[in-house]
Chains A and B, each alone.
Chain A
Amino acid sequence: MIGQLIFGVLLIASLLLFFINAKKIYRNIKLGKAVNRFDRPSERIKTMLLVAFGQKKMFKRPIPALLHLFVYVGFCIINIEMLEIVTDGLFGTHRVFSFMGGFYDFLIYSFEILAFLVLTGCVIFFIRRNVLKLKRLNQAELNNWPKTDANLILIAEILLMSAFLLMNAADAKLQSLGDPHYHIAGAFPISSYLMGILPDTASSLVLIERFCWWFHIIGVFAFLNYLVVSKHLHILLAFPNTYFTRLEPKGKFDNMPAVTAEVKVMLDPSLPPPTGEPSRFGVKDALDLTWKNLLDAYTCTECGRCTSACPANITGKLLSPRKIMMDTRDRISEIGKNIDKNGSFQDDGKSLLDTYITREEIWACTSCNACVEQCPVNINPLEIIIGLRQYAVMEESQAPSSINNMFSNLENNGAPWKYAQADRANWTQQ
């Protein structure tokens, strides 16, 4: 009875805490500027099914894709088991779904196989990160917290799956001992190998089984709440993020309507000047981004496929598209905390440009779209980079001097080089 009560309190507390923090993230995303991504629903659903649900882009790299598939499928399907665990926890039952007989055995059988695959996947991921030290998993922007964050997630999953299997092993052994509470139920293809290492006395087995059960479920509650402060939100946000993908060709950059209005007046002074509040051109801070840019930032799980395909990063430049996304997330989270504290955003003397992202980074981009192409959850770092350039150029006139020369050539001669427009067809005479 006490157990049920504790379980109920933990369940409600963890769900409540999760919703409070998730709501803050939702609020932070909504701080972004409007952009319409609600059109063409059938195309959007298709993209989501292929890219998020079907993991299509992961398979550009088959080895991590396969390991990730283990963890992904395992995570999704083993969660069905959570239904039983929660019911057992609340009502003090044991394996309440076992009335399903053969089908139940099949379920437990597949959960065990999947748990083993998840375990294997996570162990290999851990080795790739910490022993093999893959470049993209050990780059500068991951130093300190991001590295710890990633390892904590892997260790948590390894511990959860180990507890799950050990719990089953103890249960299976108790079943074989004929313990009345532990009726015959389930099939244990993996954990049966663990039975040998367990003690033979019923009381110790019950202790182990209960410990693992509680460890597993408390671990799940903790993991749920860790999600919202970690890089691991992609397990939830990958779905909306791919749904709201930009469906235009990657080369198409949006035209700024505010600029169109002004340029029209410049070209035809008889038109009335544009009215309304002059807004900021480009992106100085995270609040100048669209909500989709911010959703991108919270969705990023720092896998670094973008950075490892970035021509600038490959050739040793400071730019890393992954860092652009991490900086954006860190800054909007900071702005969110500022709002929580002050009621509304109070200037803190910081901004996304300069405090987080340097000029050297934004000017190293070739706008080649490799980062956008690689991202397994359709994040777009390029939009943010171009937005930052727009601010630097249009609000501050702060571009590298050679870029300014290019601008003035364009303005004066209609070409980025110093050639007269009148000479444009000279090649036809040569």
Chain B
Amino acid sequence: MENTIHIPTVAELIAKGESPDLLFWVGCAGSFDERAQRITRDICKILHHVGIKYAILGAEESCTGDPAKRAGNEFLFQMQAMMNIDVLNGYEIKKIVTACPHCFNTLKNEYPSLGGYYEVIHHSQLIQSLIDEGKLKPADGHEFKGKKITYHDPCYLGRANDVYEAPRKALEVLDADLVELKRCKSNGLCCGAGGAQMFKEPEKGTKDVNIERIEDVIESQATVVAAACPFCMTMLRDGVKEKDKEQEIQVLDIAEITVKANKI
């Protein structure tokens, strides 16, 4: 049974005369991609576990417009942005947590000049602050203890917004054997999905970017590679599959690792 918890929508809370303290922006991948849905549910579990009053927009959420903007379609991006801002401002949303670095970047950086002012955090930052507050703690005998774990920096969290420490913090508390990839932090290598590449075939080349990246992971000898972006998740998993390493290397989101380690 995946869902023992009820996930409220903002509309639902408003109807009850309440409002959420935190909006969970699920994102398109988190809503529709089966693998990403599992991460979405785990983020809800964390929010529920620590007792934050949150809600999602549900069917009122729409793409932030990120892939349109990176692909050069400014009209479509701004249409999406303004419609979303209408919804968000209508509900007087103040604080947003996103499950996707692309949503995070767009909401945080590109919405303000169009009238959308919110405090936006990525779920790795939420997890970091919950750890700092002592609300999340790995349970005894959790499965990651002593495991070799590495972390792949998503471009739109790392270089784009200088968030390098929050996701690492979530891993540091695990008492695991943390290793960095040879290209990490500001020198991290893209998974190959950004800039709307997720939605098209790559240009002619000698190799796919995710294969180049998964070779870094294999070289690190890690058995778990932590991701913090649904697109990186897809690309890394495809890379693992391509290299026939599904038995040796697990690709897990920071939220999933946290849920498992905390036995939520």
Question: Which A residues have a C-beta under 8 Å from some C-beta of B?
Answer: 60, 248-253, 255-256, 259-260, 262-264, 266-267, 281-282, 309, 311-312, 314-319, 360, 363-370, 372-373, 386, 388-394, 399-400, 402-403, 405-407, 410-411, 414-417, 419, 421-430
Contacts and interface: CB of A to CB of B under 8 A. Distances in A.
A391 B2 CA distance: 46
Interface in B32-78: 32, 37, 40-41, 56, 58-59, 61-63, 65, 67-76, 78
Contacts of A419: 31-32
Contacts of B59: 421-425
A248 B112 CA distance: 13
30 contacts: A249-B105, A249-B109, A249-B162, A251-B160, A251-B161, A252-B110, A253-B70, A255-B113, A259-B78, A315-B206, A317-B204, A318-B203, A364-B202, A366-B194, A367-B70, A370-B155, A394-B74, A399-B73, A403-B71, A406-B71, A407-B68, A410-B68, A411-B76, A414-B63, A415-B62, A416-B28, A417-B32, A424-B59, A427-B30, A428-B3
Contacts of B74: 255-256, 259, 281, 390, 394
Nearest to A319: B203
B61 A424 contact: yes
Given A317-B203, A402-B201, 14 more contacts: A248-B109, A252-B105, A252-B110, A255-B74, A255-B114, A311-B212, A315-B208, A316-B207, A370-B188, A399-B72, A415-B62, A422-B59, A424-B31, A425-B56
A278 to B, nearest CB: 13
B159 interface: yes
Contacts of A415: 28, 31-32, 62-63
Interface centre among A262, A316, A366 (most CB of B within 10 A): A366
A428 B4 CA distance: 10
Contacts of A400: 200-201
B209 interface: yes
A421 B62 CA distance: 7
B186 interface: yes
Contact of A393 (B72, B110, B192, B201): B72
B102 to A, nearest CB: 9
A251 B200 CA distance: 21
Contacts, number: 217
Interface in B179-210: 186-190, 192-209
Interface of B: 2-3, 7, 9, 26, 28, 30-32, 37, 40-41, 56, 58-59, 61-63, 65, 67-76, 78-80, 82-83, 105, 109-110, 113-114, 155-156, 159-162, 186-190, 192-209, 211-213
B49 to A, nearest CB: 17
Nearest to B65: A410
A246 to B, nearest CB: 12
Nearest to B40: A427
Contacts of A406: 67-68, 71, 196, 199-200
Contacts of A260: 78, 114
Contact of B71 (A248, A263, A399): A399
A73 B107 CA distance: 44
Contact of B76 (A319, A364, A391, A410): A410
Contacts of B155: 251, 366-370
A255 B77 CA distance: 9
Given A314-B212, A366-B155, A366-B209, A402 B200 contact: yes
Given A311-B189, A389-B72, A416-B28, A403 B196 contact: yes
A231 B247 CA distance: 51
Contacts of B204: 316-318, 360
Given A400-B200, A407-B68, A315 B75 contact: no
A110 B13 CA distance: 74
A369 B159 contact: yes
B83 A253 contact: no
A428 to B, nearest CB: 4
Given A369-B159, A386-B70, A360 B203 contact: yes
B222 to A, nearest CB: 20
A411 B75 CA distance: 10
A251 B72 CA distance: 14
B76 A251 contact: no
Contacts of B78: 255-256, 259-260, 263
Contacts of A417: 28, 32
B207 A315 contact: yes
A251 B104 CA distance: 10
Given A60-B187, A390-B72, A424-B59, A253 B159 contact: no
